[in-house]
Amino acid sequence: MIPPPAPAGQMSQQYRPQRERMVEHLRKHHRIRDERVLRAMAEVPRHLFVPEALRSNAYGDHALPISANQTISQPFIVARMTELLEVDSDSKVLEIGAGSGYQTAVLARVAGSVFAIERIADLAREAQKRIRELGIYNATVKCFDGTLGWDAHAPYDAALAAAGGPDVPEPLLAQLKVGGRLVMPVGQSRDTQRLVRVLRTDKGFEREDHGACAFVPLIGRYGWTNEK
């Protein structure tokens, strides 16, 4: 059963038709099935997470540049990753690579609480500000190396990394609850990855492959070592 929608708070009515069209595209073309994810994406004003000059392009199904050479993920990949996490309103979620904060805002609409990490200080600060301005209070964005996880709030029901590493960082696995799900891009090259889902069971970890993807690199102690 689909729970009733949370109050829309200060969610913007601007670009509503474009948002509805984006959601129809996710449903029909990409076969996103989770109605809670689709509803969250119909509500979160994506245009407020992109540079002002790109606002009219915010609802196309593509990634866009944000500041500091990073990107806001493509709507399809946000929807797919969120769906794969299988969260509900009681879930505690860890996010690595908050970037613009768009994925953070979507997660906050479907989960109980979100602890998000971003390694670039300006991005982290702006993401937190946007999220608060939208009236979202169950998500916190902090600046540090997310490959270490966020031990203070562990264990998590779900974890998502929006940057590609050579493998899943050990601390993220350690901070996952038994029964928890982790989704992240993993690849031996910095530029292309496979979308991997890891399920923690009482016997260990099970890995699934969810296809090719291309993310910016995950840089940190358990990721890639430097910018290039």
| Catalytically active residues, by annotation | 73
Q: Any idea of the CA torsion for 37, 41, 43, 44, to the nearest 10 degrees?
A: 120
Please say which residue, 146 or 180, places its beta carbon nearer to ligand SAH.
146
By CB under 6 A, residue 83 contacts ligand SAH = no
Instruction: Return d(Cα 164, Cα 184) in angstroms, integer.
Output: 7
If one asks whether residue 147 binds ligand SAH (CB under 6 A), the answer comes out as yes
Residue keyed to tokens 């953070």: 104
Phi first, then psi: what are they for 208, rounded to 5°? Answer: -125, 150
Quick note: the x/- pattern for ligand SAH over 41-70, rule CB under 6 A, is -----------------------------x
Minimum Å distance from CB 137 to ligand SAH? 20
Question: Should residue 162 be labelled a site residue for ligand SAH when binding is judged by CB under 6 A?
Answer: yes
If the CB atoms of residues 71 and 140 are measured against ligand SAH, the closer one turns out to be 71
How many whole angstroms separate alpha carbon 228 and alpha carbon 72?
Answer: 20
Decide whether 72 or 198 has the Cβ nearer to ligand SAH. Answer: 72
Binding-site ranges for ligand SAH (CB under 6 A)? 70-73, 96-97, 99-100, 102-103, 117-120, 123, 145-147, 162-163, 216, 218-220, 223
